[in-house]
Structures are given as C-alpha cells and as structure tokens.
Amino acid sequence: MIKVGDHLPSTTLWEVVPAEDGGLSGPQSIDVGAAVAEKTIVIIGVPGAFTPTCSKQHVPGYLSLASHFRNLGVDEIWCVSVNDAYVMQAWGAQMGVGDQIRMLADGNAAFVEAMGLSRDLSEKGMGVRSQRYSMLAVNGVVKILNVEPQGKFVVSGAQQLHIQAQGVLDSTQKMSEN
C-alpha cells in the first residue's frame, strides 16, 4: 500500500466538464503525474458515487471546508471513485460541488490498484472499488494518508485532514522560507 513519502502513481484519471455549448465534454484524460506537479492536492477516495456515507458525510465535509483548505495553500481537492466520468460529473452536479472539488473517475481502478487501495466488493455486486481514504500530496508526494478501516468513517473526514494539513503545510512553508 502507498505510504507517506511515496510518489503518487503515474496513471490516468478521467473528468467530464461543461462544454462551451452548454453541454458536457466527452471524458477528458487527466495524467496524474502532470496534474499534481508543483501543486498541493487533497485527494479523497470513496467507494462509490451516490452511496450513502460518501454523499451524506464524506464529500459534504470537504465541500464545506474547501475555502479553508485553499487558505492553507491547497490548490485543488479531488474526489476519486471507481465510477465512470459521467457518473462522477452527475454526482458532483447533484452535490453542488461546482469548481470546489474535482470529481475524477478511476473507471478501471488503475489509480487505486497502483496505490494498493482497492477492495473487492464483488460479493455485494459492486466489483472492484476504492477503499475510503483521504490524503494530502505536495508535488506528487504523499504527506498525509488516512485509510479507513473497512465499513467505517472515522479517520478520513475533512475536519481531521484539515487539522493534519495545517501542521504539515505550516512546516513546509517555514522550510521554504529558510
């Protein structure tokens, strides 16, 4: 499993965004390595779009603290799930995330499998999914990683990651000033 100090895997995620004509773009590929270079990114991994805990607690927590994360120096917040890009876009629209959270699809589970954060939920009819987690990555290096015990929501919430990120980003800022 990926750990603090590791680089994020060089894989592809997918995103659907509004098109100029008012419709939606086709799925756009996101090269993870390029997208995280020179950026501070919060990533939340969820088992599935539209699922109860993800929709009622996990994503809303990050949406409510999005400006607080930005004030710490976080460039983007990503929500990643093993769903297709259109499902992630529709879920983001329903959740009202706007430009506060990028809803990114890991349709083939390549990202979560490369990180060792996949779980097989085939017995529940859901196939391979992501474990629930939160992380902070700076320039593609994992600085904080909170992986939930199966079936729980106790360590990956927005409040906890925000508190952790304050300490990490404050010390990173002080190191760059010296």
Q: What digits encode the pLDDT tens for the residues 96-147?
A: 999 999 999 999 999 999 999 999 888 888 889 999 999 999 999 999 999 9
What are the CA-CA distances from residue 148 to residues 21, 47, 133, 141, 157 (Å)?
A: 41, 11, 6, 20, 10
Query: Which pLDDT score, from 0 to 100, does residue 171 have?
Result: 66
Phi/psi of residue 98, nearest 5 degrees: 50, -130
What are the CA-CA distances from residue 12 to residues 9, 48, 50, 51, 173 (Å)?
A: 9, 18, 22, 23, 29
pLDDT tier at 176 (50, 70, 90 boundaries)? low
Residue type, 132: R
Check if the beta carbon of residue 162 is closer than 8 Å to that of residue 69.
Answer: yes
Task: For residues 170 and 172, give the distance between their C-alpha atoms in angstroms, rounded to a whole number.
Answer: 5
Mean pLDDT of 160-164: 97
CATH of domain 6-177: 3.40.30.10
* 5: alpha, beta or left? (left if phi > 0; alpha if psi -120 to 50): left
Choose, from 2, 13, 42, 54, the residue flagged as catalytic. 54
Mean pLDDT of 55-80: 97
Q: Would the pLDDT of 178 be above 50?
A: no
Q: What digits encode the pLDDT tens for the residues 9-58?
A: 999 999 998 888 988 888 999 999 999 999 999 999 999 999 999 999 99
Query: Which pLDDT score, from 0 to 100, does residue 125 have?
Result: 80
Query: Which pLDDT score, from 0 to 100, does residue 81 have?
Result: 97
The answer to whether residue 54 is catalytic is yes
